[in-house]
Amino acid sequence: MSNISTVILAAGKSTRFKSTKGKLLQDLAGLPIISHVYNIAKKISGRKIIIVCNKNNIRELKSLFSDCIFVIQKKQDGTANAILAAKPHLLNKNFLVLFGDVPLITLKSIKKLINKFKSNKTSGSMIAFQASNPSGYGRVITKNNKVLKIVEDFKTNNEEQKIKLCNSGVLLVKSNLFFNNLSQIKAHNIKKEKFLPDIFEIYFNQNKPFSYVVCLEEEMLGVNTLEDYIKIDAIYQHTLVNKFIRKGVFIINPKSCRLSFDTEVAKGVIIEANVVIKEKVKIAKGSIIKSHSYIQGTVIRENCSIGPYARIRPSSIISKNVKIGNYVEIKNSIVGNSSSIAHLSYIGDTEIGKKVNIGAGTITCNFDGKNKHRTIIKDGAFIGSNSSLVAPIIINKNAKIGAGSVINKDIPAKYLAIERSKLKFIKKN
């Protein structure tokens, strides 16, 4: 596939997408929508990716994809002219056309398209799909298993409206012939746009028709509105969840669970209802993630119990046989083997050793108003309930902190530290 360049069309202004953030940059399972398309293109074309954008989104797209070639479609006048903007980078090449707002397309389908293109030695191949409701889609008219033409929905007659084979817009072509034929497309009388689908009939009349492959309709769904985005997000999550269920992960309420594109979960892990797992999370075998927990940027080792209502923030490592209980928040910390933080605690910028017991309401005070500081709690230490550890501080091996203490000095190994104000009794008048 090294001889195939990819063009990603991303010049649309997203006028129907009612959001302060452009549709291409909306998060889909931990990645911007267009990044899902880019990842497919990367596997096909390596560094030979051209993104057709507009003057308003080029800066953001360049910050995401530094290895791509960017061209601006100066005038928003159809897909034909969008591809024409990329012409200087596509001469004497085979190239694939993808859409930046169609994130569910799979590598399997693209490979199917490439194989069809190569096996039939055609000048072009395209992806079609069987639509459950074809209204709004261009209909693919075929003859002898080749594409005769594509009729846009508003042009269809009564018979053509019944056709359910629809155009995805995704195609693979030989550049020289394509651009020769592209120049023959005429602007539409109503919208004054050059419609790329008009090129199929041009090819057919030259006796060089397109071949086609049929893929799933959901792969070809595009994001035009917020409603589209919500639908596509649900499909993507359903796909992720089912992948892990087939692998042997017990997901108790699949519809309530959210995963990331890069989530790694071992066989036998239990995930209860309303769990959110964001990007860069790995969960090892034997662990259970209890309901309403939120995990991001974390490694969870074997046989851990997390939650319910736990939040584990990025750059954390939860070692083997650890218990993180309800309403516990952990940030940028390491929790050693067989340690317990059962409930109602904040642990930030902390290194916890093995077999440490953290009592309820414990807070590591890591921020002095200007800088963050580390707390180190060594093996076997016990931290009493409602204690505050003011960093930087070291609680040494097997030391104990009495409940309700505010500790701002290092505690030696095997010592008990208690810091409390004197109890006073004041008689009421």
Helix (H, G, I), strand (E, B) or coil at 378: coil
Q: What secondary structure letter does DSSP report for 68?
A: S
Helix (H, G, I), strand (E, B) or coil at 129: strand
CA angle 129, 135, 140 (to 5 degrees): 40
- Strands 388-390 and 350-352: what pairing? unpaired
CA separation (Å) from 405 to 222, 386, 388, 392, 418? 57, 7, 6, 16, 6
Active site amino acids: 343
Calpha distance 259→103 (Å, rounded): 16
CA separation (Å) from 334 to 300, 349, 361, 423? 10, 8, 19, 36
89 burial class (0-12, 13-18, 19+ CB within 10 angstroms)? Answer: middle
* 317 phi, psi to nearest 5 deg: -125, 120
Residue type (1 letter), 181:
N
| Count of positions (residues) in the chain | 429
